[in-house]
Amino acid sequence: MHDVLVDARPDSATFGVQTSVLLDDETFVTLYVPPGLLHGFQALTDADVCYRIDREHEPAEDVSVRYDDPDLGIQWPLPVSAISARDLSAGSWAELIASARP
């Protein structure tokens, strides 16, 4: 699993910085995603994904940015072949930043 995090916290020193982590069934790495970070992933093989969250999921609080947003320039290892309607309709990084400004 190719996992990507982007810091979307406007006051953070790492705002806009992205990092990627390879998750697999051999090393059993666990990834903690703090509040304010965008999270996306691409399965490189058939995979089961488990999430653990610290509170009940509130879909109205979800924030999305398109997987292919040119301002982020995320490099996905494989061509994107399956994506949800929700993710296809996500806004841009610029729109997210503009909405976060006071």
Q: Supply the pTM of this predicted model.
A: 0.89
Give DSSP secondary structure letters for the chain. Answer: -EEEEEE--TTSTTTT-EEEEE--TTT-------TTEEEEEE-SSS-------SS---GGG---B-TT-TTT----SS------HHHHT-B-HHHHHHHH--
The tens-digit pLDDT sequence of the chain (102 residues) is: 999 999 999 999 999 999 999 998 888 888 999 999 999 999 999 988 888 888 898 888 888 999 999 999 999 999 998 898 988 999 999 999 998 776
The CATH number of 1-102 is 2.60.120.10
Rounded Cα–Cα distance for residues 78 and 50 (Å): 21
Domain range annotation of the chain: 1-102
